[in-house]
């Protein structure tokens, strides 16, 4: 069936300005790390992408090595782009990244200009795009001079292969240095992509304030702790869940009883707010008191997109609720 986007797609989504820039990010963005690989069902990925755009999610996030196999998520997305989204290219903010292991030999990893420029050329071919909206350096490289990596980002923008650049997984000091170099080069850093959730708050230790000062937006990835911050694992590990699959990053051992005890208490609190736990976890990331611009989710089903965007119905937390979430997530819930 040919795809026609929902006419009402811009009615309910919230759009937040990304740092000091002209770009607005949807409060909820969709990442393609999982469920878009060569081993996944393409028609499911396609349905998820359609549901996301229909709900006003205009930002899709990829990386060179998303799959498996590496590159296959970009290929799947390229297919979906061609089939469904070609007429909507100018309504979309599409990102890709390089920085992790991608191809064999000395030029397929980390942060050299050689790697970044070649990798983006490959990504553009896989996705069938002329340019990406945002190109990220995926992780800091301790051995390549930061000037070289930032010069590569600047070059890529000047070549017209990306409109904006971003950093991912950079700690505060290196992020400050990188943004200063980019500013000097005349290609300001648009965005920092960092992990952030009720269970993972490292950015609050300085990075968040630093990026605010520099005018750089923050998008928080893995806001649902890969599904742990939903009601999915409360009664065991469902067969169709990520933890039951072959993920290197989420399995039975990463969800011990001690973590489930926290999740259960958060689930009760969410219910008292009239939200599912997934919705409360996303609302917390985006909360009015010092949240961030966008929560970068993943989804394995259309119904998850539909549930998750409803988080925007209530982004308000009382101070008491926030304190309670702090105490529960610190494992101190019994005294809450």
Min separation Cβ 7 and ligand NDP, Å:
25
- Please identify, among the stretches 2-10, 116-124, 251-259, 291-299, the one whose residues bind ligand NDP according to the rule CB under 6 A: 291-299
Phi, psi (rounded to 5 degrees) for 58 = -100, -5
Min separation Cβ 296 and ligand NDP, Å:
4
Give which of 51, 18, 28 is closest to 313, Cα–Cα.
28
User: Rounded CA gap, 5 and 315, in Å?
Assistant: 26
H or E element in which residue 15 lies: strand 15-17
Let me know the angle formed at the C-alpha of 145 by 160 and 22, rounded to the nearest 5 degrees.
35
Indicate whether 72 belongs to the interface with ligand NDP (CB under 6 A): no
Residue 257: both structure tokens together: 């009883």
Indicate whether 31 belongs to the interface with ligand NDP (CB under 6 A): yes
Please, which residue, 34 or 161, has the CB nearer to ligand NDP? 34
Contacts of 86 (CB under 8 A, 6+ apart): none
Indicate whether 133 belongs to the interface with ligand NDP (CB under 6 A): no
Indicate whether 119 belongs to the interface with ligand NDP (CB under 6 A): no
- Please identify, among the stretches 83-91, 106-114, 200-208, 219-227, the one whose residues bind ligand NDP according to the rule CB under 6 A: 219-227
Q: At what angle do helices 113-127 and 146-158 cross, to 10 degrees?
A: 40
Count H helices and E strands in the chain, helices first. Answer: 10, 10
Contact present, 59 and 25 (Cβ < 8 Å): yes
Give which of 189, 239, 244 is closest to 218, Cα–Cα.
189
Contact present, 230 and 222 (Cβ < 8 Å): no
Indicate whether 298 belongs to the interface with ligand NDP (CB under 6 A): yes
Which listed residue (119, 187, 193, 329) binds ligand NDP by CB under 6 A? 193
Please, which residue, 58 or 241, has the CB nearer to ligand NDP? 241
Please, which residue, 140 or 298, has the CB nearer to ligand NDP? 298
Please, which residue, 157 or 278, has the CB nearer to ligand NDP? 278
Which listed residue (134, 189, 299, 324) binds ligand NDP by CB under 6 A? 299
Q: Give the contact letters, 47-66, x = binds to ligand NDP (CB under 6 A), - = no.
A: --------------x-----
User: Rounded CA gap, 52 and 29, in Å?
Assistant: 8
- Please identify, among the stretches 30-38, 74-82, 127-135, 142-150, the one whose residues bind ligand NDP according to the rule CB under 6 A: 30-38
Which listed residue (33, 77, 164, 317) binds ligand NDP by CB under 6 A? 33
Give which of 133, 134, 135 is closest to 118, Cα–Cα.
135
Indicate whether 208 belongs to the interface with ligand NDP (CB under 6 A): no
Q: Give the contact letters, 222-251, x = binds to ligand NDP (CB under 6 A), - = no.
A: xxxxxx--x-x--------xx---------
User: Rounded CA gap, 238 and 255, in Å?
Assistant: 13
Indicate whether 216 belongs to the interface with ligand NDP (CB under 6 A): no
Let me know the angle formed at the C-alpha of 278 by 55 and 308, rounded to the nearest 5 degrees.
5
Q: What three-state secondary structure class fits 321?
A: helix
Please, which residue, 171 or 336, has the CB nearer to ligand NDP? 171
Instruction: Fill in the DSSP letter of residue 84.
Output: I
Residue 71: both structure tokens together: 């590159």
Min separation Cβ 224 and ligand NDP, Å:
3
Min separation Cβ 320 and ligand NDP, Å:
25
Q: Which residues bind ligand NDP (CB under 6 A)?
A: 31-35, 61, 138, 168-169, 193, 221-227, 230, 232, 241-242, 278, 296-300, 304, 307-308
């Amino acid at each position: 069936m040919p795809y026609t986007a929902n006419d009402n797609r811009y009615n309910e989504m919230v759009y937040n300005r990304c740092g000091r820039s002209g770009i607005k990010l949807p409060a909820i963005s969709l990442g393609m790390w999982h469920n878009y690989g060569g081993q996944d069902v393409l028609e499911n990925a396609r349905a998820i992408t359609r549901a996301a755009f229909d709900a006003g999610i205009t930002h899709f996030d990829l990386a060179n090595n998303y799959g498996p196999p590496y590159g296959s998520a970009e290929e799947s997305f390229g297919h979906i782009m061609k089939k469904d989204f070609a007429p909507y290219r100018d309504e979309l903010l599409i990102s890709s990244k390089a920085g992790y292991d991608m191809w064999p030999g000395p030029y397929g990893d980390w942060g050299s200009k050689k790697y970044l420029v070649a990798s983006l050329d490959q990504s553009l071919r896989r996705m069938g795009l002329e340019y990406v909206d945002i190109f990220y350096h995926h992780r800091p490289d301790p051995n390549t001079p930061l000037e070289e990596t930032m010069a590569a980002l600047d070059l890529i923008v000047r070549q017209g292969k990306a409109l904006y650049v971003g950093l991912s997984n950079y700690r505060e000091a290196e992020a400050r240095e990188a943004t200063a170099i980019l500013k000097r080069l005349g290609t300001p850093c648009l965005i920092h992509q960092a992990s952030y959730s009720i269970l993972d708050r490292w950015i609050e230790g300085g990075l968040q304030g630093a990026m605010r000062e520099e005018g750089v937006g923050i998008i928080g990835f893995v806001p649902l702790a890969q599904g742990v911050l939903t009601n999915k694992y409360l009664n065991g590990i469902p067969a169709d869940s990520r933890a039951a699959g072959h993920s290197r990053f989420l399995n039975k051992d990463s969800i011990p009883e001690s973590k489930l005890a926290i999740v259960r208490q958060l689930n009760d609190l969410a219910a008292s707010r009239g939200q599912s736990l997934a919705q409360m976890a996303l609302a917390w990331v985006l909360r009015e008191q010092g949240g961030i611009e966008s929560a970068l989710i993943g989804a394995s089903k259309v119904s998850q997109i539909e549930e998750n965007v409803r988080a925007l119905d209530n982004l308000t937390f009382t101070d008491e609720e926030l304190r309670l979430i702090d105490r529960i997530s610190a494992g101190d819930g019994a005294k809450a």
